[in-house]
């Protein structure tokens, strides 16, 4: 277990500097594949670019171990569109993505059954994102619903967690889980502290590295089982919808 923890920490160090820069300073959105432009209201859009000839979903590095990831909507193997998002609970741009773009993804693509939304933890920005991601994995192992609620809690209270410091992540998370879920909060946090889910953390980290996710959020988009494009930074719903062609 300790060896696995060291491997995970080494992986985090190898991508952390680039991801911090990406989260904090990059352009409003960076799309790789379709040509991306920004509208007067600040939304990013996509035109042209790659279509159905991309790599198969099951062969793409961003989709490694996809079946075990937190997913909203239909099974990715059956969905018209698949959105794989690498995010860090400590990343300000991820918070913006989750609060501005993801609600529309849920209501307009996930709920109608058009697309699947897959979350992958990629804690490479602030240090407190690492214990937060471990606790998300420990929570997901017990309850998918509690996982999504905890993720929302981290984003909603991002400033408080950053100001409290890394050492307070576990106590604050324990309080939330005890008050807002039916889980054994102490057991969840103990599992995170003990590194019981380091393999899950490592799987996401390795997938992001292999897929060259150097900023958060980075969103990989697939249509009809084929890779379309990816985007990172302030990813708008318009960009996602246009890239998927739905």
- For the segment 110-148, what is each residue's pLDDT rounded down to a tens digit? 999 999 999 999 999 999 999 999 999 999 999 999 999
Q: Which CATH number fits domain 2-244: 3.40.50.300, 3.40.30.10, 1.10.1040.50, 3.50.50.60?
A: 3.40.30.10
Main-chain dihedrals φ then ψ at residue 44, nearest 5 degrees: -95, 140
Q: What is the pLDDT of residue 216?
A: 97
Q: What is the pLDDT of residue 23?
A: 76
Q: Report the percent of the chain where pLDDT is more than 70.
A: 79
**What are the residue ranges spanned by the domains of the chain?**
2-244
Angle separating helix axes 185-193 and 169-180, nearest 10 degrees: 150
**Mean pLDDT of the region 14-23:** 49
CB under 8 Å to 81, separation ≥6 — which residues? 109, 114, 115, 116, 221, 222, 223, 244, 246
Distance CA 240, CA 1 (A): 38
Angle separating helix axes 129-140 and 198-210, nearest 10 degrees: 110
pLDDT digits (tens, 9 = 90+) for 42-74: 333 333 334 446 999 999 999 999 999 999 999
- CB–CB of 154/50 below 8 Å? no
pLDDT digits (tens, 9 = 90+) for 66-102: 999 999 999 999 999 999 999 999 999 999 999 999 9
Give kind and range of the element (H or E) at residue 119. strand 115-121
- CB–CB of 133/126 below 8 Å? no
Distance CA 218, CA 240 (A): 12
Task: Look at the block and give the residue holding tokens 């990831």.
Answer: 69
Q: What is the pLDDT of residue 204?
A: 98
- CB–CB of 192/131 below 8 Å? yes
* pTM attached to this predicted model: 0.84
Q: What is the mean pLDDT of the chain?
A: 86
Q: Which of 104, 64, 112 is nearest to 84 (CA)?
A: 64
């Amino acid at each position: 277990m300790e060896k696995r923890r060291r491997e995970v920490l080494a992986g985090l160090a190898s991508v952390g500097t680039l991801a911090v820069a990406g989260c904090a300073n990059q352009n409003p959105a960076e799309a790789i594949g379709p040509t991306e432009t920004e509208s007067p209201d600040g939304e990013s859009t996509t035109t042209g670019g790659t279509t159905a000839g991309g790599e198969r979903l099951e062969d793409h590095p961003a989709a490694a171990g996809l079946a075990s990831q937190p997913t909203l909507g239909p099974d990715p193997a059956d969905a018209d569109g698949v959105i794989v998002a690498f995010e860090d609970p400590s990343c300000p741009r991820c918070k913006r993505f989750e609060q501005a773009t993801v609600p529309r993804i849920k209501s307009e693509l996930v709920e109608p059954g058009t697309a699947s939304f897959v979350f992958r933890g990629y804690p490479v920005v602030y240090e407190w994102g690492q214990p937060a991601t471990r606790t998300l994995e420990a929570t997901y192992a017990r309850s998918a619903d509690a996982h999504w609620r905890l993720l929302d809690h981290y984003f909603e209270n991002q400033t408080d967690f950053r100001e409290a410091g890394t050492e307070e992540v576990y106590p604050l998370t324990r309080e939330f889980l005890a008050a807002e879920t039916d889980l054994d909060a102490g057991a969840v946090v103990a599992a995170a502290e003990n590194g019981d889910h380091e393999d899950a953390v490592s799987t996401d980290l390795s997938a992001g590295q292999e897929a060259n996710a150097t900023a958060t959020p980075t969103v990989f988009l697939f249509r009809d089982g084929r890779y379309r494009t990816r985007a990172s930074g302030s990813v708008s719903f318009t960009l996602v919808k246009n890239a998927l062609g739905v």
